[in-house]
Amino acid sequence: MATKKRADAAIASEAHVSTDAETLLMAALERGGDTSKAGRFLMTFKEGAMDAGIKHLESHRGLRLAHARDFKDQAVMLEEAGYADAVVFPDIHVALMGGAAAAERGLTADTSIAEDGPVLSIDPEYFVFANGINVADYMKGVVRTAEMIARDLSAGVGAEEEITPEVLGVTWGLTACKAPPSTRDGNGIKVAVLDDGFDLGHPEFAGRSFTTATFVGSPITGLSGHGTHVAGTACGPKAPAGPIRRYGIGFRTRIFIGKVLTDSGSGTQAQVLAGMNWAVGNRCEVICIALGGPGGVQPSYTAAGQAALNNGCLMIASAGQSGPALGTVGAPANSPTIVSVGAVDMSLAPATFSSRGKIDIAGPGVDVFSSWPRPLLHRTLSGTSSSAAHVAGCAALWAQTGPSLRGAALRAKLFATARHLPFPATAVGAGLVQAPA
Amino acid sequence: MKKKAAAKKSPATADKKAMVVMCTGERPMHEVAHDLKSAGFEVDGVLDAIRQVTGSAEPGLKGKLEGIRGVHKVHDAGPDVQIPSPDSPVQ
């Protein structure tokens, strides 16, 4: 935790009378355990005994008091109680005491009360919620909001958050990969997508650089959308028109579409190899292969992956959807010369379906919003295909940062900068891919 | 630039199996492909950048093909790849 966050928590945990409800909630969540208590106390006085009781607290216990009468129309605005130790509500015979003030005087809910004294009871203050509110969800919302504010204030310096909140106008996957704050756009980097084609007439890709080839005898713009969805994540536009959130990472990359799958989604090894050959021949720095087949490691794919590395290219493949059992990574991802990508969900945990075993790195792969052929234009899908697409997009941004980041060097950079996740490497590899600053 | 490389499908018939020839790179690929063809290998794709030749041949021919200069290994083509149908929620 960053120093600022720790300090905030320390202040909040003292639960002053002027501390606002959300800060109290945050502190309670951070404390853990019984999060129903705000950390302050309510002192209830016997009828007619309040004045005497309050006087005693002031003179003998040194409590600084704020009275309801101090406020206009006796409407107490707790946030304006300043550094008062307690706020007195005379008409209901209750005083609210701050956590620190209570602790200093050894007062807790367990304090034994003199029977002939002015105090009726001392009780912990509890949070209350509107009926119908799911308290757990509400708490999560409070945490998310506070984190977003903290991030804005600290301008991204050092703070490490547990869960990455969704920033409006961008998909959760891009946010998790830190694509939006990146200053890179993939300009000049060639990204090959070997898949079932692409809808070249998609309005959000008008004016983009496209080089295409089909290896299955049918046209690039087909009926199936898998390739469109994958290319959308890796290379989609910075600011789609209208109310559409940003879903693409390398928005100025040069897109190479190699159709190696028919519209029914199948391809022979020969067709895949032909596509690989084309991408390497064109020196595409990033080659996204979001498809897979059964069987063990294929020597041909391994050799193709090596040829890619030898020529300054990096192949990135989806691990497959045969998880969560081990040993389920398909080809070509299982080749040692090809980066294998597993899927994580919004909580950054491995998706159940994600294949396990030889996994090099992870990418967002659940409920991923991206482009789709006309007329639908967009679709939300899950799969390691999307994970590979996120890695490919980030790889393009990294490649842009320096001419030496190619092939094996690019691969090493991706692994070194991945965000560590608390899960086995057989599920997430080096961790969640991150875009460069 | 749009390029259309029409796929020549070499159907693996009853006596021919789909194969992939991995080359050493010591000879130009088109020369190796020529020799493969002469030896009875039906050439589908000459893949220069990744040093492989795809095609089909009778299973018994493997040994002879591997004897050709510039050939590293000949193996049966691996399984097809498949992506789930567009309607599938997990892709």
Rounded distance, CA A300 to CA B21, Å? 9
In a domain, residue B3? The reply is: no
> Annotated active-site positions of A, please?
195, 226, 385
CA A293 to the chain's CA centroid: 30
Q: A290 and A413 share a domain? A: yes
**Angle A3-13/A21-31 helices, nearest 10 degrees?**
110
Mutation pick from A208, A257, A259, A269 vs chain B, by most beta carbons of B within 10 Å, is A269
Tell me if A225 and B86 make a contact (CB, 8 A cut-off): yes
In a domain, residue B7? The reply is: no
Task: Kindly report the nearest CA distance between residue B83 and chain A, in angstroms.
Answer: 5
The fraction of chain A above a pLDDT of 90, given in percent, is: 59
The bridge status of strand B52-57 relative to strand B17-23 is antiparallel
Rounded to two decimals, the pTM is 0.68
In a domain, residue B14? The reply is: no
Compute chain A's Rg from CA coordinates: 29
- Cβ atoms A436, A397 nearer than 8 A: yes
In a domain, residue B6? The reply is: no
Rounded distance, CA A433 to CA A363, Å? 6
Looking at this predicted complex, what is its ipTM? 0.84
Q: Which amino acid is at A83?
A: Y
A300: which chain B residues are within 8 Å (Cβ-Cβ)?
20, 22, 52, 75, 77-78
Tell me if B18 and A268 make a contact (CB, 8 A cut-off): yes
Task: Kindly report the nearest CA distance between residue A315 and chain B, in angstroms.
Answer: 13
CATH number at residue A214: 3.40.50.200
Residue B10 pLDDT greater than 60, yes or no: no
- The pLDDT tens digits of the residues spanning A9-47 come to 454 456 888 787 767 777 776 676 666 778 888 888 888
What is the pLDDT, as a whole number, of residue B32? 98
Q: Which residues contact A391 (CB under 8 A, 6 or more apart)?
A: A316, A339, A341, A361, A363, A414, A433
Domain holding A118, by residue range, is: 3-126
Going by C-alpha positions, the residue among A273, A405, A423 that lies closest to residue A359 is A423
B2: which chain A residues are within 8 Å (Cβ-Cβ)?
210-212, 220
In a domain, residue B43? The reply is: yes
Residue A307 has its nearest CB partner, among B49, B55, B85, at: B49
Tell me if A277 and B73 make a contact (CB, 8 A cut-off): no
Backbone angles phi, psi at A38, to 5 degrees: -85, -15
In a domain, residue A86? The reply is: yes
Q: Which residues contact A140 (CB under 8 A, 6 or more apart)?
A: none
Mutation pick from B46, B83, B85, B88 vs chain A, by most beta carbons of A within 10 Å, is B83
Rounded distance, CA A248 to CA A268, Å? 29
Q: Can you tell me whether residue A317 is helix, strand or coil?
A: strand
Residue A157 pLDDT greater than 50, yes or no: no
Q: Can you tell me whether residue A311 is helix, strand or coil?
A: coil
Size of interface A-B (CB pairs under 8 A): 144
In a domain, residue A433? The reply is: no
Tell me if A265 and B85 make a contact (CB, 8 A cut-off): yes
What are residue B43's DSSP bridge partners? Answer: B55
Which residue would you say has higher pLDDT here, A292 or A7? A292
Q: A109 and A192 share a domain? A: no
Which residue would you say has higher pLDDT here, A116 or B10? A116
Is the CB of B14 inside 8 Å of chain A's CB atoms? no
Q: A227 and A355 share a domain? A: yes
Per-residue DSSP letters for B44-79?
A: EEEETTTTEEEEEE-GGGHHHHHTSTTEEEEEE---
Tell me if B81 and A213 make a contact (CB, 8 A cut-off): no
**Residue written as tokens 């390691």?**
A384
- Cβ atoms A394, A435 nearer than 8 A: yes
Q: A335 and A269 share a domain? A: yes
Rounded distance, CA A202 to CA A378, Å? 10
Residue A83 pLDDT greater than 90, yes or no: no
Rounded distance, CA B26 to CA B20, Å? 18
Q: Which amino acid is at B88?
A: S
Number of domains composing chain B: 1
B51: which chain A residues are within 8 Å (Cβ-Cβ)?
303, 307
Residue B54 has its nearest CB partner, among A226, A273, A292, at: A273
**Residue written as tokens 């707790």?**
A78
In a domain, residue A151? The reply is: no
Strands across the sheet containing A94-97: A65-67, A86-89, A94-97, A37-45, A119-126
Q: Which residues contact A5 (CB under 8 A, 6 or more apart)?
A: A150, A159
Q: A91 and A189 share a domain? A: no
Q: Which run of H or E residues covers position A307?
A: helix A299-310
Which residue would you say has higher pLDDT here, A339 or A136? A339
- The pLDDT tens digits of the residues spanning A309-353 come to 999 999 999 999 999 999 999 999 999 999 999 999 999 999 999
The bridge status of strand B71-76 relative to strand B17-23 is antiparallel
Q: Which residues contact A172 (CB under 8 A, 6 or more apart)?
A: A164, A166, A346, A364, A367
Domain holding B72, by residue range, is: 23-76
Number of domains composing chain A: 2
Q: A255 and A108 share a domain? A: no
Tell me if B20 and A270 make a contact (CB, 8 A cut-off): yes
- The pLDDT tens digits of the residues spanning B21-79 come to 999 999 999 999 999 999 999 999 999 999 999 999 999 999 999 999 999 999 999 99
- Please give the biggest Cα pair distance in chain A: 96
What is the pLDDT, as a whole number, of residue A100? 78
**Residue written as tokens 């193996």?**
B75
In a domain, residue A227? The reply is: yes
Q: A196 and A287 share a domain? A: yes
In a domain, residue A369? The reply is: yes
Buried-state track A45-83, b at ≥16 Cβ within 10 A, e below 16: beeebbeebbeebeeeeebebbbeeeeeeeebebeebee
Q: Which two tokens stand for residue A305?
A: 């992956």
Mutation pick from B41, B50, B73, B87 vs chain A, by most beta carbons of A within 10 Å, is B50
Task: Kindly report the nearest CA distance between residue A13 and chain B, in angstroms.
Answer: 44
Q: Which run of H or E residues covers position A38?
A: strand A37-45
In a domain, residue A248? The reply is: yes
